[in-house]
Structure 1
Amino acid sequence: MTELRILPAGDRALLIELPDHLAPAGFGQHLHDHPVEGVGDLLPAARTVLVTLAPGATAATVEDGLRAAADAVATESSETPSASDTVMIPVRYDGDDLAETAELLGMTETELIARHTGCVWRCAFVGFAPGFGYLEAPDAGLAVPRRDRSRTAIPAGAVALAGGYSAVYPRKSPGGWRIIGRTETTLWDLDRPEPALLRPGTRVRFVRTDLDGRRR
C-alpha cells in the first residue's frame, strides 16, 4: 500500500503529502476522474494536495478512499501514456531568451529545443493566472532560474522556462520567466465547455514548427 501522510487542515479539509514517486498532479487528476465519496473539492500544489470534505463527510470515512486512490495512481504511473491522452502544443522556438537560456544550461539552442520537445510534460498545478499551468518534466534537465528582472508585459502564447517548470502564458501579463518560443494555441477560452486547456495531471508534448506552421 502506498504510504500517505494525511494532515488535518482546519475542520473541513485534509492536506495530503505524497511520497516522492507520486506526483500531486497525477493524484489530483485521478481524484477528478474517479471521485472519492466524501471529497468535495481538491487543489493540487507543487508537493501536496488539499482536499475539502463534502457536507456530512468525516475525515475517517474519506481517508481509506484516498489511500486506495494513491495505490491506483501508483499503478497508472508505471504505464506509458498514449498520444490520445496528451495535449500537443506547436511551438515556434524564436523566444527572446532562447540563446541566453541555452548558454545558461551549457548547451546549444538546438539541444535545448530537442530536450523541450523530446519529453512528456505534466501539469503539476495551475496558478498565477487562469489557465497558467506549471508543467514539469524532471528528466528534461531544463531547470533554470527566473530572470533577474521581470518584463512588464509578456504576450499570450509565450512559451517559457523557470524554476524547473515550463509554461505557456495564457494571456498578456507581466512575468519573469525565460521566453524560449511562442504558440498560437489558446490556453484559456471562456467559450469552451472547459475554459482551461490544461489542468492538474494533463500531459503535454511540445512540437517544433516553422514560421509557416509546418512541423519539423
Structure 2
Amino acid sequence: MRWLPYGPEAALIECDSLSQMSAVRAAVAGLPDLLEVVPGARSVLVVARPRTDALGDVRRVLESADLANPPGTEPREIVLEVSYDGEDLALVAETAGITTAEVVQLHTGAEYTVAFTGFAPGFAYLTGLPDVLQQSRLDSPRTRVPAGSVGIAGEFTGVYPRSSPGGWRLLGHTETVLFDPRAERPALLAPGDRVRFRSRG
C-alpha cells in the first residue's frame, strides 16, 4: 500500500489488490472531516475538509486497522430483475463450455458487491462473478450499448446505466433505472452495496 499526496487536502492510497482497496474504503468510511472517499480498482482517493487533520486521521486508522478483517457495516441489498436475452449470451456459454441456461443459473446464483463506480455516472463494478464466467472483453467494442444492458468483463459484472459505447459481453437487460440525475440519490448503486440478479424468465 502506497500513500501519494494529491494536492494539499487529498491523498491517493494505492492498494495491492481489489480486496485491499475494499478494506481501506471500509476502514476510513465515516471518518469526520473527510469530504470524499472515492474507490477505484486498486486505489482509494480521500479528500479532507480544509484546515483539519482528516488526512492524519486516515493514516492513523490505516496503521492500526486489520485490513484482512475490515470493519463490518450493514450493506444495502438490491435485486435487479433481468431478461437474459443478451447478444453475447451464446458466446459466453460457448467460451465457458456450458449451456446458456447454466450461464443464467450461475449469474443469478451469485451475490455481488459494488467494489467501485466509474466509466459513466451510475456504472458500478460488481465483484463476485463466478470464475467460469470471467471472460475477456469483446475484441471489437460496440459503438452503442443500450441502457440497462447487463454485461461481464474480466472479474466484473455490471449494468450500463445509459446508452454508450462498450466492450463488455452482454448477457441481458434490466428495466431498472440505474442513474437519475433528478433523484435525491442519483445513482442506485454505491460502493459496499450487495446486489443479486433475478431472471424474469
Alpha-carbon distance, 1:194 to partner: 0.2
Equivalent residue for 1:214?
A: none
CA shift in 2, pair 1:136/1:72, >3 Å: closer
Alpha-carbon distance, 1:75 to partner: 4.2
Mapped pair 1:174 → 2:169: no
Identity of aligned residues (%): 41
Equivalent of 2:5 in 4, 8, 11: 8
Residue type of the alignment partner of 1:172: S
2: CA distance, partners of 1:29 / 1:71:
9
Equivalent residue for 1:112?
A: 103
Question: How many residue pairs align between the two structures?
Answer: 200
2: CA distance, partners of 1:68 / 1:201:
22
1: CA distance, partners of 2:82 / 2:129:
20
SS of 2:72's equivalent? helix
| TM-score normalised per structure 1 | 0.80
Equivalent residue for 1:213?
A: none
Deviates more, 1:37-46 or 1:5-14: 5-14
Mapped pair 1:90 → 2:87: no
Contact 1:94 1:180 in 2 (8 A): yes
1: CA distance, partners of 2:14 / 2:83:
37
Equivalent residue for 2:72?
A: 76
1: CA distance, partners of 2:84 / 2:59:
45
Q: Which runs of 5+ in 1 are unaligned?
A: 211-216
Equivalent residue for 1:137?
A: 128
2: CA distance, partners of 1:203 / 1:103:
29
Equivalent residue for 2:150?
A: 159
Contact 1:22 1:74 in 2 (8 A): no
Question: What per-residue deviation string (whole Å, max 9, x for no partner) do you get for residues 9-35 of structure 1?
Answer: 343222224465845346435644xx2
1: CA distance, partners of 2:132 / 2:39:
23
Aligned-residue Cα RMSD (Å) equals 2.6
1: CA distance, partners of 2:184 / 2:27:
20
1: CA distance, partners of 2:108 / 2:189:
17
Q: Which runs of 5+ in 2 are unaligned?
A: none
CA shift in 2, pair 1:23/1:135, >3 Å: farther
Contact 2:92 2:133 in 1 (8 A): no
Contact 2:27 2:62 in 1 (8 A): no
Mapped pair 1:127 → 2:123: no
